[in-house]
Structure formats: structure tokens, C-alpha cells
Chains A and B, each alone.
Chain A
Amino acid sequence: MALETSAPSRQPSLGDYLKANIREYGLLVALVVIMIFFQFITDGVLFRPVNITNLILQNSFIVIMALGMLLIIVAGHIDLSVGSIVAFIGAISAIMLVKWEIHFLIVVPACLILGGVMGAAQGYWVAYQKIPSFIVTLAGMLVFRGLTYLVLQNRPIGPFPPDFQLLSTGFVPDLIPLGDPATSLIKNYFALIVILALVAYLIYSGFRERAINQRHGSENEPFIFFILQMVIISAVAIFLGFQLATYRGLPNVLVVMGVLIALYTFVTTRSTVGRRVYAMGGNEKAAKLSGINTERLTFYAFVNMGVLAALAGMIIAARLNSATPKAGVGFELDVIAACFIGGASASGGVGRIMGAVIGAFIMGVMNNGMSIMGLGIDYQQLVKGLVLLAAVFFDVYNKNKG
């Protein structure tokens, strides 16, 4: 019997492409629009070097936790306990550093391990006992918060030794001092050069990727979108880098965050582990029947989340220069919201690291902008809630239309 050959692949038009990828471009455009809007309405305060630095410091821990949360959500779960882990790790690090006077080079890894153990304690129930993660981590949220009060005996501990504080408030020193910081506009040439190098690398690798795809006949995004995207990202990065360079340079936290974002982007898009997490979130039974150890994968997703929450906990404690029992209250919601604004699906299997990062910054810029405007926490919450709903509605609307 003659079999018809497969249909030739059709070259998608610009419109098709935009429709298929509207979510990704839309998110980036939304961030830029929101930034410009607040820049305008705050009379230019938003983009001042000191404020940009603040913006990064204030949001770094949300971004860092969003990386782990995205994996959890893609795997089809949720973690409500991260705010309490933040508080507990902050407390433990304070006790070790301040009361017991242990060196921070020991405290930091110890706390990361402890965070991993806390994640494992929850991951066990979710992965192996099949208790819904919502319930397990709700329990975790209460338990860890209670433990925080217990170990702190309801009193804040501080201040931290200066070397530990640098984790959060330090800057990468100007390794290439080309000018005198006292007189020059650029106070930190190193920051500017690093950013320029990164932008150059981004453009280079973007073109290289396209060239390789072309050679192998894989799909490429239309050239105009590629260029537009490159121009926008480069412009924003160079502008921010310049602003940072005119202040105190690259915050340590930004470096940590940047490395983690790169690492998790790589893991989610290129590694077998990442692929398996997406498959598991998309269809757990099919993944399991394909020989994937879904229990172990789920377990480690929670361990990973615990480690990142511990890191965030230390960054927050160092920033506030004290460990308080109320630290991190409600953070889990900001982190989860960042993932959903970034396009993650509540039913699992869908979501991107860059989406979650941009989602976190959209929330961060709005917080920051509204604070500068003098709007209270009441309005901030209200607006954030509406933005979350709008973003998810946008997803659903697109899906139904497509």
C-alpha cells in the first residue's frame, strides 16, 4: 500500500510567530513599559543609580527563590514554606554568627545544608508518601515559623559581623580603576566593563546560535524579532550597568543572582534533569512509565528549594542586619506570584526561568515605584494582586484563542 509522505514543513509568517511567542515578548515589553511609567511618574527617581542599586538588593532574594519555585511549580507542586525557612535560617545564622561567634565561611555552607534538610523533610512526604505539596508545605510553613520563634525566644538577634553583612550590602571592588572615583562620573569601571562584556557575549552567542540553527535546518525566530530583542536587552543592560557604575559598582548580590540565573536557565533548558522535570509536570504517569524516577526528582526539587530559601534567608538577615521572628512573612506569595506572572502554569509542565525572573522584577519595580510615589502597603498589595490576575488571564485568553 502506498503511504503518503509527510507534509512539508511550512515557513511560519511573522504574525504566526508573534502569536506563538506573544507571552515571552509581552513580558519583556511589560517590564520595560512599567519601568518607563514609574520613571515618569516618580520624576526620574526610579532610574537613579542609588535606586537601581536598591531595587536589585530588595528583589534579589525573591528572584533567587523564584528560581527554585519555578522548578517546583513546573514539577506540578507548590511550596508555601519558603518564607518560614527564610526566617528560620536567618535566626540560625544569627545564633551561630553572633552568639557562638563561628566564622561566616562555616556558617554559610552549614545554613545552606540546613536549608536543604528542611526541603528534604518536606520533599519526603510529598514524593514518597504522596501527600499533596500544598498541605505538606502549609504544615512546614507553620512548623518552621514556630521553630523560629522558639530559637529566637521572640527577640531579634543582631548586629551581624561586618564580613557577613557584605554578602548583602557589599559591592565588587573596582578591579580596573581607570579614573579617580572622586572626580570621574564613572565610579566603578569594572562594573561597566563586565556589563559590556556580557552584552557582547550575548550578541555573539545569539548570532552563533542562529548560524548553527541555519546550518542544521532548525527553526529560527524571524530576524527582525531577534534584532529587536537584542537591541532592547542590550540597551537596558548597558543603561543599568552605566547607572550602577556611576554609583558603587556591582552589588555582590547581583553577581550571585546572575550566576544562579545562568545556572538554572542552563539546567532547565539543556540538562536531562531539567527535561525530566518538565516531562514529569506535563504528565507524571507517562514520565514514570518512561523510566524516570519521579519520586526522587520531586524530592530533590524540594531539597533545591530549601537550599535557595536558605541562601535568601541569609541575604535578608545580612541586609536587615538582624534576625527577627517576623522575617520573610508572606514572601512565599511574592515568589509564587513571580512565577505565575512569568507564565508558569499552575497545573505543571510549563514555565521558564527568565519568565520567573522578569516576573519577580515586574513586582519589584512596582513595589519600588509605588513606595517612591508614597503609596502605602495597602495600594501596593491591591495593585500586585490585580497584576497577577491580569497576567494569568492574559495566558488563559491566549490559550483559548490559539
Chain B
Amino acid sequence: MTNILLEMRGITKTFPGVKALDNVNLQVREGEIHALVGENGAGKSTLMKVLSGVYPAGTYEGDIVYDGEVRRFATISDSEHLGIIIIHQELALVPLLSIAENIFLGNEIASGGVIDWRQTFARTRELLLKVGLKEPPSTLITDIGVGKQQLVEIAKALSKKVRLLILDEPTASLNETDSDALLTLLMEFRKQGMTSIIISHKLNEIKKVADKITVIRDGGTVETLDCHKEDISEDRIIKGMVGRAMEDRYPKREPKIGEMLLEVKNWNVFHHQHRDRQFLHDISFNVRAGEVVGIAGLMGAGRTETAMSVFGRSWGHKITGEVKMRGQPVDVSTIRKAIDAGLAYVTEDRKHLGLVLMNNIMHNTTLANLPGVSTSGVIDERREAKVATDYRSRLRIRSHSIYQEAVNLSGGNQQKVVLSKWLFTNPEVLILDEPTRGIDIGAKYEIYSIINQLAGEGKGILMISSEMPELLGTCDRIYVMNEGRIVAELSRQEASQESIMRAIMRSGEKH
């Protein structure tokens, strides 16, 4: 048996009015990959903040025993000093600095304030080799993809002599190839004796890499599962997370598919920035009333770009092609016109593109349809409050009131506010781009239920998702995209993870 590297004993952390952590225990052995799972708001991030000194000793109760001694970290640098490094979900890299500069930011190899560039670059090359990133150290962060940026973060952690690496949702914004590479790297590190804690919602990945799984629910430890003693199924983990067995992750729906709503034909779009590069080629698809249609594909396949270019040309340029609603050609050249034509686009990036975070639920709900609550340009606040209250109860948005600011809501509730906003425009076709990204399992189920309900009301749903099980569980028909083209159209019966991947791979060989 190896040593226990970290033990957190009876950690209790209270915020004004809320007990965020209640007597949490966590034991991590040297050289293992320890997964921390739980629904959003369960207390995972708070626990890691206690560990890393973001919440200094004295602001919580309980003990942190690290490397055999009780530690009292006053700042983050105290914990970093002992090799505890956190990589946050939102990467902390400076986009316009190079890889090398980012790795040694705040920790420069310098004497007397003068940076030794030669050594900096040499050290960077060593570190990049370790994480398997083949980029010159002088490349700017903004020029590499998210997957590679994640590797730079890890290289940065390695440069600090890391002993305990904590990754908060490391694969949330990565595609499957990049996620796989990252997980393989973690397993490689494990062989070399490094210890890591990984926080993730992706249970299949956890199953793949974790030695132990600690489940947290409502601020308390539920259990620690040992993956080597027993075979832990995803359902077993979910049971711990939600406190009950989840028979079905996708609510059932009897599809009642009606007339043709949205048809897009021969859609060609050039890239937003690289203006002479064609990005989307001859895309054609359709959505019928009461139908849930999925678009599968890898990151960068052009799914979001397809949706946004159709939705009022909000992406791309030199756009050609035809859009019809109910068989009639419609003008979707501006977002306003697209909305008026009956389209709604629920963005994948709700914080930056979906919500005005500093505004309250009510104001966000009515933003896309202010004329719906006003008379000749004057807002009727009573009517507005009524609309917001209706949607709040219809979509079960959990908040103090409709006057709560969007920034203070959980991810699932934020998503419901974005949905409210679009439902209030009374669209015929809703395009949902990664509608369940970053929200917990309970809230996901509610979103699926809402999707089913909307389809039942005769709306057409176009759903873009990177989670194949989600598409398979909710869609009546799935388009597969790769490299700016639609490469397959699969019926519910034909669709499976294998058939989708096969379609992507086969199209890749052709080019």
C-alpha cells in the first residue's frame, strides 16, 4: 500500500447563510488518480478552494493533512510551494503571450529582473515534450486550440514541481480526441508517480482513468468508491450523486412528426476571419414539426457555424443558399428577420452570448421580444413581470424571484432563462446548441423534458451536441457533420455511437 498523500478531515465551510461544506472527508493516496464527482453546487470546487488556500486557514473548520503534516495555507502560493497545483476550468492563460511566456508567467527564469530567454525556451521545450505538445515555444496562446491550451496549463503546472495536480473539469471544452489525449497523459503521469484529483461530469472518462471516486452531495461526502475492488458502473456513480437510482436519463417521448418547417438548401459559407476560405460546403437539412433533429460531429466540424449563419448571418460571410419555412422562402439576412421568420438560436455560450449577466431574470426573459410586453415603445412592467413569472414557473427556474440577477443563478437555471427568452419569441424552430453543457444531471433531465414538451407542442427542434449519448437519447433523426459538410443522415434506428463515428471517419478518408 502506498502512502496517503492528502487527507482532508471534517472540513466544514460556511458562507453567510449557507453551509457549503459539512464535515467532508477526502483521502488521496500517493500516485493515484482520484475523481471527485457530484452535481453542480455540491461543493467540489469549494473543497478544492479550501485545499489550495483560496479560502485561507481559519475560514473553515477541519484539518488538511498533506505529506504527513497538518497544513494551514494562508494563500495559494503556500499550497503551490508544496506542489499542490490547480488547473481551473476557465484557463488562466494570457492569449497574446507566447507558450513560453505563459508557462513561466510570475515565475520567470531571470536574474536581476532580466529574463534569460535561452533557458526559458529550452525549459519550455522540455516541458512541452513531457505533455506531448508539438508547438514551438514562441507560438501565441491565441493561435492554438483549447485542447493544446489545456496542455500548456499542465506544462505550467509541471514547471512548478507539481506533486498533486488538481484538474477542474479539464475536458469540458475539449473534443473527444483531445480529451482522450489528455486522459492518456494523466495515466502516463500516474506511472511516473504523480498524484491527481480530477473533477468531471463526464462519467465515462472518470470510469476510464480513476482509481478511486469520491462522491459529494449537498456539501457532504457520500462515499468513496474503489475502482479496483469492484466494477463501478456509471449508473452506480449517478446513484451516489443524485441520491437515488436514475432509471432513465432521457425522458420518453412519442414522436408526432408533422409538416415540414425549416428547410435549408445548398448552404455555403465562407470563414468569418479568413475570408477566402470556404468553411461550410453545400449544407442541406430540414426539420419537421414535432421533430427533434440532432447534429453530431467533432469540435470544429462547423455545427455552431451552420446554426449561426442561418440565424441572421451571425457568423461567416459570402453566404449563399436557400432557407424555407413551411415551404416558403424566407429572408434571414438579419437576426431580427430570422426571429420574425420563426427561428430561435439558443447559444452554446450562455454566459457570453446568451445572457446579460448583470440584468435580472425578468429583463433577460423579455430581451428578444420587448414589443411583446410594450405598447408603442413603452414597457408595461406589470405585463413584463407576469411573463417572467409564467416562464419561471413553467421551466421551474429556481431563484428568489424574477428580480434575481442572472449571474447568481446556477448553470442549469441560467440555461432555462435563455430558453425562456427564446420561447417568449414564440419560435417555430428552436436551434439548441449544446443545451446541457456544464449543467448537472438533474437539470439536464429537466432540459430534456422541456425539449420533449416543445416537440409535443409541434415545434421543430434542431439540437447540436458533442455528447453522443444525449443525441441518441433524444433525437428522432441525426445529421453527422465533418469538416464543414454533412456526411450522413441517420434515422433513430440507424443511429449509434459506432455509426456516427464511422460516418465521421469515412468522410475524413475521402478528403
Contacts and interface: CB of A to CB of B under 8 A. Distances in A.
A271 B379 contact: yes
Nearest to B385: A218
A279 B367 contact: yes
Given A289-B335, A289-B347, A7 B399 contact: yes
B339 A291 contact: yes
Contacts of B358: 282-283, 349-350
A282 B379 contact: no
Contact of B356 (A272, A286, A293): A286
Interface residues of A, number: 33
Nearest to A349: B358
A291 B335 contact: yes
Contact of B367 (A212, A218, A287): A287
Interface in B388-443: 392-393, 396-401, 403, 421, 425
Judged by DSSP, the binding face of B is: mixed
A290 B355 CA distance: 9
Contacts of A1: 251, 445
A23 B367 CA distance: 26
B45 interface: no
Given A288-B314, A289-B345, A282 B359 contact: yes
Interface stretch (B370-378, B466-474, B502-510): B370-378
B354 interface: yes
B356 A349 contact: yes
A289 B356 CA distance: 11
B202 interface: no
B201 interface: no
Contacts of B374: 271-272
A279 B378 contact: no
A336 to B, nearest CB: 21
A60 to B, nearest CB: 27
B277 interface: no
A155 interface: no
Contacts of B7: none
A290 B421 contact: yes
A4 B445 CA distance: 13
A276 interface: yes
Nearest to A2: B244
Contacts of A292: 367
B471 to A, nearest CB: 21
B133 interface: no
B385 A9 contact: no
Contacts of A293: 334, 336
A12 B367 CA distance: 27
A7 B385 contact: no
B218 interface: no
Nearest to A216: B382
Contacts of A289: 311, 314, 335, 345, 347, 353-354
Given A216-B382, A275-B379, A286 B363 contact: no
B404 to A, nearest CB: 9
A282 B377 CA distance: 20
Contacts, number: 98
Contacts of B400: 7, 9-10
Interface string B350-370: 001111111100010001101
A272 B352 contact: no
Given A7-B399, A272-B377, A279 B356 contact: yes
Given A273-B377, A285-B352, A291-B335, A219 B401 contact: yes
A206 B55 CA distance: 45
Contact of B353 (A10, A285, A350): A285
B312 interface: yes
B403 A271 contact: no
Contacts of B178: none
A272 B379 contact: yes
B235 interface: no
Nearest to B347: A289
A290 B427 CA distance: 13
B377 A7 contact: no
Contacts of A7: 398-400
A19 B314 CA distance: 41
A391 B370 CA distance: 34
Nearest to B311: A289
Given A278-B363, A289-B311, 16 more contacts: A3-B396, A6-B396, A272-B378, A279-B363, A279-B367, A282-B357, A286-B367, A287-B356, A288-B335, A289-B345, A289-B354, A290-B335, A290-B368, A290-B421, A291-B339, A291-B368
Interface of B: 251, 311-312, 314, 334-336, 338-339, 345, 347, 352-359, 363, 367-368, 370-371, 374, 377-379, 381-382, 385, 392-393, 396-401, 403, 421, 425, 445-446
21 contacts: A5-B396, A6-B398, A7-B398, A10-B400, A212-B382, A216-B385, A270-B381, A271-B378, A272-B377, A272-B378, A275-B367, A278-B359, A279-B356, A285-B353, A286-B356, A289-B311, A289-B335, A289-B345, A290-B367, A291-B368, A349-B358
Closest CB pairs A-B (n = 3): A282-B356, A290-B368, A272-B370
